[in-house]
Amino acid sequence: MAHRSPSPSPAPIDPTDLLAPSLCLNPDAIADLAPVQPSEHNLLPATFPTLSWSEKSSLHHSISLGEKRLCYRHRPDLRSKRAADEFQLEELQQDIKLLPSHDQQIISHIWSLFGSAPASHRQLVLSGLLTQCCVPQLSFLSNHLQPLLRIDFLTILPPEISLRILSYLDATSLCHAAQVCKSWRRLADDDVVWHRMCEQHIGLKCTKCGWGLPLLEKKKVRAKRQEEGAQIQDRPLQIDTSSSSHPPSPSPSISPSSPSFPSRRRSASSDIETDSRSAKRARHGSRSPSPFYDLSDYPAPLFQSPVPPVKPEGTTKRPWKEIYSERLIVERNWRKRNYRVKQFRGHTDGVMCLQFDDSFLITGSYDNSVKVWNIETGECLRTLTGHALCVRALHFDEAKLITGSMDRTLKIWNYHTGQCIRTLQGHTDGVVTLDFDSRILASGSVDATIKIWNFATGQCSTLKGHSDLVNKVQIYKKDFLFSTSDDTTVKFWDIASRTCLQTFTGHVGRVQCLQTSGDALISILANRRHGKFAALELASQDSNNAVVSRARATSPAYESSSSDSETRTTRSIVVTGGLDNTLKIWDAETGACLNTLFGHEEGVWSLAFDKLRIVSGSLDKTIKVWDTESGQCLYTLSGPEGPVTCVGLGDTKVVGGSADGSVFLWDYGARM
């Protein structure tokens, strides 16, 4: 009998090979996720009939491990996010310790075989096990598989895709998502997500939720104006000054009973209606300058704008989420009518004009003075005197204040010091309205003319076309101008050619106030009876159609909302108010009347609006707040004891001046 050499002793088995829990784990994860920790008590004895996969399967398994193809559950960077799995493993280890040592060895061996099997073999093993499971075991699997299949998709997806997904949520859902875990909070608070949220709501109405947030960007507007002011010398406005191209208009017909402004020391609307303009003309009849202003009187620039301040370096930017939250508080105050009322008293007669920003409130009155107020404290900082008659119009920016008076003059002030810089003369009657930008100043007068003053060249030109007192002028897109008059019309002018491009008709009373949306497009629910826009046909037949087309070309294309494509449009608008007790919303480019707002019991004397709301002041002693898009009256503000002669609107404030000399401020920005 041949001597039989002893068989070589089997190579020692690495405990980690027996306990490898998953194909896609790297060695660093084994210690954390192995259901049974190797020890001298649970290792299989040498006599135990061990099984192993074929050499081909083992090679395939080794290659897979070398490629480190990690599944979602076993990615090392996600291990800290699987606290629930780790808790289950601890419970599993406690249960196994209760079994006999032999049973622990068998279970450990089964797990090690499964852990070292290729993916295709694993599926076969699982399929066979499922065929042998009873209903209780299948129910157990179903209950345990459902939570295991849940994936933290925001964590495993690329950040760009995760942020894109979150951008479709509303603000409430984003706040809930930020409470899930730290990684979700980091994504949900990202500036990209909240910037998109702000784009949907700030300055316009969201098409999903139907409400919008205020702009709160006056600082940006001031910076933009300063930048434009520095470029005045680079782009002076060229105005056609040839008299032959503009025939003289007929002399205005003035009735002794036609009013131009509320009477001094009279608060009743009937007294306002019976004020005599002929008396005004008699007061100013001693002087009769030529209707065409001599351009040589002002060869030098009217006003030199200061150099805009340099923006400090290292300015920190606020998170968009904080900006959204700030505006949301203001929006809720507007919606719920939460405001604080402040009153400014100091004028001895009716307040006829006002303007305010974040720091100052400036008012002009029948007492011939202009007052500069601290808008936060209500303190009167200084009183500007110099006009011989009542101040009917004013406008200011960061550097200067310009006022217009019934003494036929305009004055340029440094309102920070109270110094009068320059006095402009040219109108033959009282100045009722004015407006200016970085290049030009426009003024309207009782003499039914509009004068355009060029800051850079000092030149002045005249626009004629109204047959009665000009109540309001406003520059539109730098090269055009809107004006309203007691002749019940609204006119659209080309400043460079000094021609009237279009006349808007529709009011049956004197048109007292006007405001344009400037370059902004505003969503409007147009009245269905104006859906055909018959005015488009009239515009196409206008003799100045080529110039009108040039004006329209400067506006962005109109857009329609899918929610109501027949009536909701986004366009540039003009809002006017008249003594016929109505406000009208016009398409600034076509002249079509989009909506008429009814609600005031007496004539509308002043208005202001933004993308979200319109405020109007009336001779009925009230201020009404309207929804810009629908034209619906939201609520009425009361307080003044006399007719409301001027109003101002900001993102957080409404200011109204009354014929009784008081000024009221409704502040929506304070936390209630």
Question: Which amino acid is present at 252?
Answer: P
Cα separation, 372 vs 64, in Å, equals 79
| Alpha-carbon span 350 to 344, nearest angstrom | 13
- In this prediction, residue 99 has a pLDDT band, given cuts at 50, 70 and 90, of confident
With both helix axes pointing from N to C terminus, report the angle between 191-201 and 320-336 in degrees, rounded to the nearest 10: 30
Q: Does residue 68 register a pLDDT over 70?
A: no
Q: Distance (Å, rounded) from C-alpha 389 to C-alpha 590?
A: 39
Work out the average pLDDT over 249-260.
36
User: For residue range 180-206, what is the model confidence (pLDDT) as tens digits?
Assistant: 888 899 999 998 988 888 877 776 666
Q: How far apart are CA 614 and CA 329, in angstroms?
A: 20
Does the pLDDT of residue 463 top 60, yes or no? yes
The arithmetic mean of pLDDT across residues 596-605, rounded, is: 94
373 or 261, which is more confident? 373
User: Do residues 365 and 393 make contact, with C-beta atoms less than 8 angstroms apart?
Assistant: no
For 507-533, what is the mean pLDDT?
74
- Say what the alpha-carbon torsion angle 320, 326, 329, 331 is, to the nearest 10 degrees: -70
* Residue 12, pLDDT above cutoff 60: no
Place 638 in a pLDDT band, splitting at 50, 70 and 90.
Answer: confident
Lowest mean pLDDT among 103-117, 219-233, 541-555: 541-555
**Three-point CA angle 588, 507, 576, nearest 5°:** 45
Q: Is the pLDDT of residue 79 over 80?
A: no
Spatial contact of 30 and 16, defined as CB atoms under 8 Å apart = yes
Q: What is the CA radius of gyration of the chain?
A: 39
pLDDT bin (cut points 50, 70, 90) of residue 85 is: low
Cβ–Cβ contacts within 10 Å for residue 4, how many? 6
pLDDT bracket for residue 497 (50, 70, 90): very high
- What is the reported pLDDT for 125? 87
Phi-psi region of 58 (alpha: psi -120 to 50; beta: other; left: phi over 0): alpha
d(Cα 570, Cα 577) in Å, to the nearest integer? 21
Of 238-252, 277-291, 294-308, which one has max mean pLDDT? Answer: 294-308
Separation of alpha carbons 483 and 499, rounded Å: 13
SS in 3 state form for 111-158? HHHHHCCCHHHHHHHHHHHHHHCCHHHHHHHHHHHHHHCCCCHHHHCC
CB contact at 8 A, 542 and 548: yes
- Checking if the pLDDT of 656 tops 90, the result is yes
pLDDT for the residue numbered 72: 66
Note the pLDDT of residue 550: 46
Give me the mean pLDDT over the 288-301 stretch: 44
The DSSP bridge pattern shows strands 470-476 and 511-516 to be unpaired
442 phi/psi in degrees, rounded to 5: -115, 135
Instruction: Report d(CA 221, CA 610) in Å as an integer.
Output: 14
Determine the average pLDDT of the residues in 69-73: 63
Q: Which of 402, 434, 447 is nearest to 421 (CA)?
A: 402
- pLDDT at position 56: 61
| 666 has a pLDDT exceeding 90 | yes
Where in 281-349 does DSSP place strands (E)? 340-344
pLDDT given for residue 474 in this prediction: 96
